[in-house]
Amino acid sequence: MKNCIVVTGGAGFIGSNFVNEWVKHGLGKVINLDKLTYAGNLENLAEIQHNPDHVFVHADIGDREAVQKLLAAHQPRAVVNFAAESHVDRSIHGPGEFIETNVVGTFHLLEEVRAYWGALGATDKTQFRFLHVSTDEVYGSLSATDPAFKETNAYEPNSPYSASKAASDHLVRAYHHTYGLPTLTTNCSNNYGPYHFPEKLIPLVIHNALQGKPLPIYGNGSNVRDWLYVTDHCSAIRRVLEDGTVGETYNIGGWNEKTNLDVVHTLCDILDQEQPKAQGSYRDQITFVVDRPGHDQRYAIDATKIERELGWKPAETFETGIHKTVKWYLAHPQWVNNITSGEYKNWVSQNYKERGEELA
């Protein structure tokens, strides 16, 4: 078994940040498997395109033959599974893809990893890890006074997306308890930062603000999320992979609960400073739109366990992270233009027309 890991979904938002950091830190070779759906973007990996420690493989986690060949050829010491359909609105419009990728795809991946792991020698079997990256949305929704989600919270998913992720988490747990596969699961709060596809709140608001378009906020903007800067998430995953207890789950959060309206106001205020309009404030573009069906009111992560057991806590506050994020988008207009010229426009049109809104 070599000093090599396989990362699935490594051309997406969180996955590409993880792969970029892994290679830049010189932590070993990464075999990056990605299907390159609309949110998978090779431009995210441009800085390591020619680095010999990064090998890109265009394949689906549900392609058993491709996964089997990859594992046999590269003999990784770990598989980190980011591959997933990950947007609630898309899951409402088309749940089938979420079941296919997040549930069936994870099953096929687990089967091939189990076969590979089962054939390893005794020492390599002990050292191998399968780390599954999941979400806090599997726990459902919190009221304003409920304590934050702990790893012991019951699963209560409320969207096709979160239900499909919950199913994948259960499969990973079952493969550990039934077959002994050395698994780890992480459940994170809302990520933000560079390379974030602009269907999600923060990059959508930045993009629309600069384009002079309305800034759409569901309902009255009171929904609360815990915000985690993406490189903090990556460092947490590295710690879990290094020293996490096999079979355990670790919640990863930023200790930054904010309402959606607070987030949008903060973005507008930063943009007013960094790239002011000729007249008025970006806040003038805020538009409230019909709420998402079954919209969870609040998510919050209790990240005490990972700090207590592995010594991890986020390095960024929301204030430092959100400033870095805005500056990154302002410095990379070509990346944004390339993203928004294709499939994303089709999705925005479909999603908001159904709400009677013309936002793009």
Which residues are annotated as catalytic?
136-137, 161
Give SS3 for 145.
coil
Q: Which of 144, 171, 166 is nearest to 155 (CA)?
A: 166
- 356 vs 271: CA distance, rounded Å: 28
- Burial tier of 319 (Cβ tally within 10 Å: 0-12, 13-18, 19+): exposed
DSSP letters spanning 248-289: -EEEE--S-EEEHHHHHHHHHHHHHHHS--SSS-GGGGEEEE
- 315 vs 221: CA distance, rounded Å: 27
Q: Which of 239, 231, 249 is nearest to 18 (CA)?
A: 231
The single-letter DSSP state of residue 133 is: E
